[in-house]
Structure 1
């Protein structure tokens, strides 16, 4: 049995294609569109309160009998350090003054939360067919609960060492995330950029190192890049940036416009929005505060202070302080229905 056949058996889908979970730019609407197209639709859960997560799962279940994936973050929540926050606010002070903001505009709570016992209980209650993680895997007791629900478990690896650890810890599928990928890096062992590789260097090494099905992610925006991933051993592909301009995505009009403009060719890894490395379209905030600022608190703490800037700038009609997540091949992506986009890329695995 080849790895694509194994992947399809594990996922229960018609196509070896996964719609990447993208917090902030999608709801269950995109999940369902991907499911209806024969792919594995994914729902990002790291920013959803429990009641909203349950409601979204119920919506998916009402509208499809196809397999779907619920995605969680498995990061270790850092401790809030007042001195670190003060240093970060000093960096942001000129921007705050320009928008008339103060520390009182910073809101606590919310944001991206690591996988918890409460979320594990939801998984056990609703039994989603697939559960995926970013930033590694949760602690063993929580992972055991997920496995006991019957869910297939996937997680992201950005290095060969991470892929091997995921396989050893009980993942069923490894998602190899190349440096080209948009949004947050799934790194959980070694954050040094110098040790991170592009997909077409990372992918064949991961395929050699683990016996599990390996899904390719990063820079896959058209059929040619999907074929290249298949040729290098990918059992399937995960696409995110390619779906940002889909009709069923909740991507803002400003973000869509940026993706369809020459700006989309200029993406960079930055930590100024959340504290974690993520790839997005370069704008004023990235240019002037980053791209990587050592004063930024660790993921996800930096977001509390950057969020007021985003809100104030967007209220003035500009995206210069917004996270415009996009992969390096965003310029190859096309607008249209999620089904059309998925079928174009899935054609690389036909025959």
Structure 2
């Protein structure tokens, strides 16, 4: 067993990735622990109070777990460009009774300070960060509180920055991953480097334990990532249809739809590069979407929520990695144990 799994006190090297926006639930995190692994609550888009409630719910089960936060890495949007994009997507909003042109520019930090205060006052076993490397003082304070700190990286250069900041381990995310890229430079879409090659580059750059992520949806793919130098892997897309996931019904149906044309990396929904199933929205607006996070996320969110409520998948961010066809409707523990069967 690798040093990282020993530190986490888990036996299964297949961990459940945090999936913000609904798919990750306390039940999914508990199921990962019951499969001798570890799950991460998704702190993104939640208030500190809501996150505290989910932490308390998982704690009642007496299992190890982690929490993921979006670290602030603002990508301000030009107001004129924002208004032009809002006008372009307005027909999609009108179809659901909304005028997205009335949405103002919101440049918030996702309740960052409140959530850090929470995790320092009531420490959890593991905290991971995505989008940016936090200040060294934040990392040091969490480690002093007994928390193991993991940083998401997408390149060797990012890995060196994270190592210099004092983190304990790295989540190495390849471009095949579903949902948002963890890139520290969201102005550019990360190059499509295969996961095994990315792991090799990062292993040469730093000596920290590595957790592999991105496109891992079969036992063979998991085993390959572990052979390539990862001590554990993290899977998300393959759990989107799990019994315990909070994935919306239209998102679940789209993942299972054999007519879907695969995935694309798009800024259309949030202004940050993210991989999703291709749909009408990505077809029409990906080439128009500017950089601008979180402003575009707040612009499109009411429309996405309204569409999900009535089962319309076409204006929804159908986040999915390249292995989405392997997502199955069964208990999460069954999925996680199967993925670990070749390790």
* TM-score interval (norm. to shorter): over 0.9
Which of residues 15, 20, 36 in structure 1 aligns to 2:17?
20
Residue correspondence of structure 1 range 140-289 to structure 2 within 5 A? 140-189=136-185, 191-193=187-189, 195-263=191-259, 266-289=262-285
Which range moves more in the overlay, 311-320 or 14-23? 311-320
User: Which residue does 1:70 correspond to in 2?
Assistant: 67
Residue 342 to residue 270, structure 1, CA distance change in 2 (3 Å): same
Q: 1:264 & 1:42 partners in 2: Cα distance? A: 29
Q: Which runs of 5+ in 2 are unaligned?
A: none
User: Which residue does 2:315 correspond to in 1?
Assistant: 321
Residue 312 to residue 253, structure 1, CA distance change in 2 (3 Å): closer
User: Which residue does 1:41 correspond to in 2?
Assistant: 39
Residue 303 to residue 84, structure 1, CA distance change in 2 (3 Å): same
Confirm or deny: 8 A CA contact 1:241 1:327 kept in the other structure.
yes
Query: Deviation string for 1:298-347 (max 9, x for gaps)?
Result: 11210222123324434553110001111101112322111100101122
TM-score (norm 2): 0.92
Q: 2:94 & 2:247 partners in 1: Cα distance? A: 29
Which range moves more in the overlay, 187-196 or 51-60? 187-196
Confirm or deny: 8 A CA contact 1:258 1:264 kept in the other structure.
yes
By how many angstroms is 1:99 displaced? 4.6
TM-score (norm 1): 0.90
By how many angstroms is 1:194 displaced? 5.9
Which range moves more in the overlay, 304-313 or 32-41? 304-313
1:296 aligns with 2:293: no
Q: Which runs of 5+ in 1 are unaligned?
A: none
Q: 2:96 & 2:51 partners in 1: Cα distance? A: 34
By how many angstroms is 1:148 displaced? 2.1
Residue 169 to residue 258, structure 1, CA distance change in 2 (3 Å): same
Residue 115 to residue 225, structure 1, CA distance change in 2 (3 Å): farther
Let me know the Cα RMSD of the aligned residues: 2.2
Confirm or deny: 8 A CA contact 1:181 1:219 kept in the other structure.
yes
Query: Deviation string for 1:221-262 (max 9, x for gaps)?
Result: 110111111221211100001111111001112111111122
Query: Deviation string for 1:267-291 (max 9, x for gaps)?
Result: 000111111111010000000111x
| Count of aligned pairs between the two proteins | 342
Confirm or deny: 8 A CA contact 2:45 2:110 kept in the other structure.
no
